[in-house]
Structure 1
């Protein structure tokens, strides 16, 4: 893979350098490259899916042709150096379920959404060479890495997961399981709907404001094209980053992607595409030291 774009030295986009990865790309956090960890968030091109799912759709629950999704997942697995049957997913239900991935869970959800780990919008593990996958198309994908214990987690934060503090719940679960401490943690908030794109009702804006009374610019007002009035917009990534800071994660350890999935043509966007779209995947695999 080779780097083609860098944003403020915080995130970098890689594209394929071989025939089978032609046009395939993903975004990653620069400060995680120092660790025995493969990670990133896929972009929408470089696969075989068709129509509104074109082309690197990795979601099995969006009415795409299953064989096309399997082929796309096979390509991702090849990049990760594994067979597709060990790709491991949680069943994302916009809840707050957090589950540790054990040996018995390896490969759950690899080929069918119904076979994924139930009620798990966040999954974490210390198992090496076991790729975790998380599907997104506007919601915030959150990667959490514990450098002291070599543990990794992926959390799915839509507005419900965000206001429910799923990132902190995940860190607390890792603390209980492994002894994770905030000073050893790194976080990457990947491509997702941006603060100028996530328009909401006043009632939801008020709920977010009450939850973070001291956080400035969590809710801002913008006039979208064609609208006659200013409407509230929420900064989901800002809310999550503040949660992580409050838990004690150092600010220098937190990478927030500048990529807005709704305005970037290289991303799937549930809102922009009115629900008829594919899914990008955040992936993370702990590398076994030789």
Structure 2
């Protein structure tokens, strides 16, 4: 029914309402719901077709509302549950214990402001972020029963949001970094993330600069997957506890929204994680 997504490591699921999403293949275990939406199974028209989940994209309000309901229902999650990060491409991370609105993530303008990472130990409290090329990071500590989600574009990656999320998880729970597992979700890959010299050079002071900044056919490219993987390992996460989905949103634009490929005129996916 759907074009095969190349290098897929996550499971593909279709909810009863036809909303299509990717989910954990069993890496986190049975105590967590992790999901990343696609562009299939929604109500929006082109160029937001069809499961656009952002009110900030220019799409019609009624379509986004129906799409958010469809996405949550596909996961069998209470449609009035959830906390949304008010992302600003920064490195602020917030620990949350409960939802901030009685309507959860359904309505526009309700989010944890100026925040690119969320952490919780509360059961049945979905943590949600929006994405369209930037890197979604999903965290789970099976011992302390804590989950987190972070939004790592190039700015967040440069500010080491992956490590800062780990540090905050340990600070809040007293857990061990060796117990934390991380999934790096669908996002733009180094195959497509061409950058200018200024951005390429922004990582020059990093020890892994030569690993993540590449030159191909006299063009400059940035590898955010590897950058975040290295930062996680530098924070103490075991390499076997990091799963990189290896799914490029730009390559698979028929399957995902891609801000870069569609020149900003597009929708957004959602990443979600919840302790059951």
TM bracket (short chain): over 0.9
Tell me the distance in 2 between the aligned counterparts of 1:96 and 1:125.
Answer: 17
TM-score when scaled to structure 2? 0.92
Structure with the largest fraction of helix:
1
8 Å CA contact retained: 1:97, 1:122: yes
Once structures 1 and 2 are overlaid, which stretch shifts more, 134-143 or 57-66? 57-66
Question: CA offset at residue 105 of structure 1?
Answer: 2.8
Tell me the distance in 2 between the aligned counterparts of 1:74 and 1:179.
Answer: 35
Structure 1 counterpart of 2:262: 273
Structure 2 counterpart of 1:256: 244
**Residues 109 and 83 (structure 1 numbering): CA distance in 2 closer, same or farther, change over 3 Å?**
closer
8 Å CA contact retained: 1:108, 1:117: no
8 Å CA contact retained: 1:150, 1:286: yes
8 Å CA contact retained: 1:77, 1:84: yes
Structure 1 residue 114 corresponds to structure 2 residue 109 = yes
Question: CA offset at residue 49 of structure 1?
Answer: 0.8
Structure 2 counterpart of 1:14: 12
Alignment of 1:29-48 (within 5 A): 29-48=24-43
CA offset digits 1:116-165 (Å, max 9, x no partner): 11111101101111111110000000001111111000000000000101
Structure 1 counterpart of 2:272: 283
Question: CA offset at residue 221 of structure 1?
Answer: 1.6
Aligned length: 273
Structure 2 counterpart of 1:99: 94
Tell me the distance in 2 between the aligned counterparts of 1:26 and 1:254.
Answer: 21
Tell me the distance in 2 between the aligned counterparts of 1:171 and 1:105.
Answer: 23
Tell me the distance in 1 between the aligned counterparts of 2:269 and 2:70.
Answer: 13
SS of corresponding position for 1:86: coil
Tell me the distance in 2 between the aligned counterparts of 1:236 and 1:74.
Answer: 31
**Residues 214 and 118 (structure 1 numbering): CA distance in 2 closer, same or farther, change over 3 Å?**
closer
Tell me the distance in 1 between the aligned counterparts of 2:157 and 2:30.
Answer: 27
Structure 1 counterpart of 2:215: 221
SS of corresponding position for 1:169: helix
> What is the RMSD of the two structures over their aligned residues, measured on CA atoms?
2.1
TM-score when scaled to structure 1? 0.88
